[in-house]
Amino acid sequence: MSLGSVRHRGGCHCGRVCFEVDAPPDLELLDCNCSMCARSLFLHLIVPRDAFRLLSGESDLVDYRFGTGTARHLFCRHCGVKSFYVPRSHPDGYSINARCLDPATITSMKIRPYDGRNWESARRNLDTGWRAGQQALASSEESEEFARSGCCSAR
C-alpha cells in the first residue's frame, strides 16, 4: 500500500462478491455518461491491478462484453450488482464503483464528468490530464502515491 492510501472494502448487494482496494481516503472519481454507466450510476475509481484484491465471489461473477469487447463488465449473478470491472480505458487495472465501497474509510469524493458517449476523444483528454498531473506532482512527496493509485485531477 502506498503512502497516504487506505484499504477500502467493498462488494455487491448480496455480499457474495467482496473485495478490497488500496486508494487514498479522498477519492477522485469519474462520472461517465456512456450507455452502460449512465444506466447504472457507476462512479469510477480507477486503480492499477495490484491495488485490487478479490476476497470472495469469483465464481459468482458473470462477464458481459459489448462494443469492442475490451471492457469486462463483471456482475454478481445473484444480485446483479457491478461493483467493479476491467475498463476499456485501463485494461491493465480495475474500475471500482465508489458506491459499492464501505463509506467508513472515505473522507471525501471529488466527482468529475467523463464524456463516455464520445469515448475516443474523452480517452485522449484523460491521457493528457494524466500526464499533466504527473508532471505537476513530480517534485512532490505525493508523486509515488499518485503514480500507484491511478487517480489524478483529470479522472
Best CA proximity match to 36, nearest among 66, 79, 68: 66
Q: What is the C-alpha to C-alpha distance for residues 44 and 112, in angstroms, rounded to an integer?
A: 10
Question: What is the residue-level pLDDT of the chain in tens, covering all 155 positions?
Answer: 667 899 999 999 999 999 999 999 999 999 999 888 899 999 999 999 999 999 999 999 999 999 888 899 999 999 999 999 999 888 999 999 999 999 999 999 999 998 888 877 777 776 654 444 333 333 333 333 333 333 322 22
CATH architecture of 6-149: Beta Complex (2.170)
Strand partners, 123: none
Domain boundaries, the chain: 6-149
- Strand ranges (E), the chain: 6-11, 18-23, 26-32, 43-48, 52-56, 61-64, 72-76, 84-86, 93-97, 108-114
Best CA proximity match to 90, nearest among 152, 41, 26: 152
Question: pTM of the predicted model, to two decimals?
Answer: 0.76
> What spatial distance separates the first Cα and last Cα of the chain, rounded to whole Å?
20
